[in-house]
Amino acid sequence: MAWDFPVLTKPEKIPPLELNRLFMGFVLCLLIIVFMGAVYYYLTQDKNSFLYSLILGLFSFVLFGMAVGWKILRVGMLMKNNEVIEINNRKAEGVCCKWASEYISIVDFSFVFPDEIEIGQFSRGGEYNAIGNRAIIFSETSDYIAIFHDLLCSLRYKLLGLSHAGKLEVNMYVPEVLSLSLWRSFSLAWSELNLPEGEVINPVFIGNNFVMQVDEWLQHPGDKYRLVVVCNPLSPEDTQTLTSDGACAWLLAPAGVTEQLPQKGRLYRALNTDSTTLHSDLSTLLKYQEGGMEIERLWFNNISDKNIVNKIAQVCGETGPRLISHFFTELVLGRQGGGGIWMTMVLALLNNKGENTGSLIVSRCNAETLFVQVKDTSLQKEVL
């Protein structure tokens, strides 16, 4: 959904005073009065003509003063009104910026991909084999208990501490048809790592709408950390749209936590739009969201339309002169399914590691385009 921000009031145009025209008109009026007074005296020899001329001159001076005063008063009122408008606009923009820049702290993340995907080479910035529009699967000897075991290993100590403190909630994003079997495999892997089993008794299965899910987490942060497990298994029923295997796990912190756990990244508020409002919605995100004007990397997931790619790159380029790099998820991981946005986040953070600029992920789902910014903060000293 697009961000429903209020339309800012435009300040009124302040007209120039143009006092020089009024002064020239006043001088011309005085000359005419003097000339007419002299002609009248010449014709009538009436000594009161000088008095009449003086009265007319004073009347002209009063009119000139009133005209100047009105113009100065009008300009002053417009300037004061514009000042109030600008203050209100700044307040509205501040509220919008604060709302748009809300983020979820990424405490840690892990991932497991098939061996054919050279994720190690990619993370080190080396050369890797491009996959393209193909589905890459785990080897036949792999099972999801072992995959989930590998996925949780690097997070075990943090999960153990949070579980014992009762501050962990498990969320799973998996295909609905395989949710039960994958949950069982995940539970077995959880038990093998001697993690408290109470945390996986009632997992929360999250839906497909990424934007609404992030908004819900930001609106209702709660007091528990969220372990979000995303899995794209190649199911036997999936004969038409084959997607690559892969799994990733995200440990997300709620807002306002006090534990001293350093964050590895930030997941900012997301936005989705359609082709008719893409330009204006993307411009709004770049204007109001923290770091929007500094984005140097664009990640495209499930987008093959060059017109959309070029349009997005053009809008981003309008925010300032800088080199913007383009990346495509399919080239690294192969064809993606519903969890492609989460997989792309892994690539964006690996690619952006050690840099303070964010990456904008652009993902296509049906007729909508999704935008979400992620930023690596692993080198920053700030803590949650």
pTM: 0.82
CATH architecture assigned to 101-376: 3-Layer(aba) Sandwich (3.40)
3-state secondary structure of 76: helix
Residue 343 burial by Cβ neighbours in a 10 Å radius (0-12, 13-18, 19+): buried
Residue of 209, 146, 216 whose CA lies nearest to 339: 209
Q: What single-letter amino acid sits at 161?
A: G
Write down the mean pLDDT value for the chain.
83
Q: Whole-angstrom Cα distance, residue 240 to residue 234?
A: 11
Q: How many other β-carbons are positioned within 10 Å of the β-carbon of residue 113?
A: 24
| Cβ contacts of 309-316, under 8 Å, gap ≥ 24 | 311/278, 311/279, 312/278, 312/282, 312/362, 315/279, 315/282, 315/283, 315/286, 316/282, 316/286, 316/360
Q: Whole-angstrom Cα distance, residue 21 to residue 195?
A: 85
Per-residue pLDDT at 130: 86
Q: Whole-angstrom Cα distance, residue 284 to residue 262?
A: 30
pLDDT digits (tens, 9 = 90+) for 182-204: 888 888 999 999 888 877 777 78
Q: Whole-angstrom Cα distance, residue 190 to residue 249?
A: 13
Per-residue pLDDT at 383: 40
Mean pLDDT per 10-residue section of the chain, whose length is 384 residues: 76 78 80 79 76 81 82 87 90 90 92 88 83 82 87 92 88 79 88 83 79 89 89 59 83 74 88 87 90 87 86 84 84 86 92 80 86 84 43
Q: Domain locations in the chain? A: 19-98, 101-376
